[in-house]
Amino acid sequence: MSVAKKQYKRITVKSLIEMKANKEKISMLTAYDYTMAKIVDDAGIDVILVGDSASNVMAGHETTLPITLDQMIYHASSVIRAIDRCLVVVDLPFGTYQGNSKNALDSAIRIMKESGGHAVKLEGGSEISESISRILTAGIPVMGHLGLTPQSIYKFGTYTVRAKEEAEAEKLKEDAKLLEELGCFALVLEKVPAKLAQEVAESLTIPVIGIGAGSGVDGQVLVTHDMLGMTHEFNPRFLRRYLDLYSEMTTAFKQYIGDVKSLDFPNDKEQY
Ligand code: KIV
């Protein structure tokens, strides 16, 4: 079922800004490999995020901090080989852009050159404005990310909702305005109160894509493995599961094990 207001052969950063102007919501999901990216793109998603959540989902780390630039490039290049239509945004990993704008530009250039990604995403506001500006001067589109920024987990201490207090909400609003003024083409807002997220979305012309940020924003993003129910230990309130793949895959694996052990597989037709 498509409820698109305009058909796009290829999604660009301009398409997303147009979608916001046309009040068409933007759909975004994560992918880290060729096979998943092909299914997600063929289904008609607008944006694939090669998120640094690959650190958790693909590598089993507790946080997003350990993933390296080389590993992000590997994931992003696998995704790029799969897609025909969607925009591919690649996370700059922790330690590759904070504090040194030359380092940030070098990292973003490596992502674009070596993976073929279409844009980069960075976490943070005014404290990384120099890095964002420098990346933008090279013609690389930048997506911002405010609210819960998992690369700062050791500063926050928990993954709970951000910006519930007035001072943090004010800083978030200022940062969102700044990111738009610097030239970011879109912004992810993670785990913030829905009212605040709507206020930010309404105050900007660039699209705001939410995760745990309510329905008043311009689009939604989820981690694909979570919405497919492959990760069953992660149960935040904002997550809608569209499948229970953990159970379905477990059933299939158990059946296969049973078939092998009982000599049911392979049968006469399944051999040469
Ligand atoms: O890395 C990621 O998957 C993300 C999303 C949660 C927005 O940044």
Q: What pLDDT sits at residue 4?
A: 85
Dist CA 143 CA 138 (whole Å): 15
With cut-offs at 50, 70 and 90, classify the pLDDT of residue 149: very high
What is the mean pLDDT of the segment spanning 171-176? 98
Query: Catalytic residue among 24, 190, 248, 270, which?
Result: 190
The answer to whether residues 205 and 195 touch, using CB atoms and an 8 Å cutoff, is no
Rounded to the nearest 5°, which phi and psi values hold at 252? -65, -45
Rounded to the nearest 5°, which phi and psi values hold at 219? -175, 175
Question: Strand locations in the chain, DSSP E?
Answer: 26-30, 47-50, 87-91, 119-121, 142-147, 186-190, 208-211, 219-222
Determine which residue's CA is closest to atom 1 belonging to ligand 1. Answer: 51
Q: What pLDDT sits at residue 148?
A: 97
pLDDT at 2 over 70: no
Dist CA 79 CA 31 (whole Å): 7
The Cβ-side half-sphere exposure at 179, using a 13 Å CA radius, reads: 33
Dist CA 145 CA 176 (whole Å): 9
User: For residue 248, how far is its CA from the centre of ligand 1 (angstroms)?
Assistant: 25
The mean pLDDT value of the chain amounts to: 97
pLDDT at 185 over 80: yes
Radius of gyration of the chain (CA): 20
What is the mean pLDDT of the segment spanning 67-87? 98
pLDDT at 208 over 90: yes
User: For residue 257, how far is its CA from the centre of ligand 1 (angstroms)?
Assistant: 35
What is the mean pLDDT of the segment spanning 8-24? 97
Joined tokens for residue 214? 């309510």
Q: What pLDDT sits at residue 234?
A: 86
What is the mean pLDDT of the segment spanning 24-33? 98
Distances (CA, A) of 253 to 35, 107, 116, 229, 267: 19, 40, 35, 16, 18
Determine which residue's CA is closest to atom 5 belonging to ligand 1. Answer: 51
What is the mean pLDDT of the segment spanning 134-139? 98
Distances (CA, A) of 68 to 65, 188, 209, 210: 8, 21, 25, 25
190 is a catalytic site residue: yes
CATH 3.40.50.150 fits 13-241, yes or no: no
CATH 3.20.20.60 residue ranges in the chain?
A: 13-241
Look up residue 189 and give its DSSP letter. Answer: E
Which ligand 1 atom is at minimum distance from the Cα of 190?
7
CB atoms within 10 A of CB 79: 27
Pocket-testing residue among 45, 47, 52, 234, ligand 1, by greatest number of atoms within 8 A of Cβ: 52
Q: What pLDDT sits at residue 65?
A: 98
Q: What pLDDT sits at residue 82?
A: 98
Q: What pLDDT sits at residue 1?
A: 58
What is the mean pLDDT of the segment spanning 5-29? 96
**Helix, strand, coil proportions of the chain in percent (round to 5)?**
45, 15, 45
Joined tokens for residue 88? 């591919």
Which ligand 1 atom is at minimum distance from the Cα of 51?
1
Q: With 0-12 CB in 10 A as exposed, 13-18 as middle and 19+ as buried, what is 213?
A: buried
User: For residue 139, how far is its CA from the centre of ligand 1 (angstroms)?
Assistant: 23
Look up residue 240 and give its DSSP letter. Answer: P
User: For residue 6, how far is its CA from the centre of ligand 1 (angstroms)?
Assistant: 26
Q: Taking CB atoms and a 6 Å cutoff, what residues make up the pocket around ligand 1?
A: 30, 49, 51-53, 91, 188, 190, 211, 221, 223
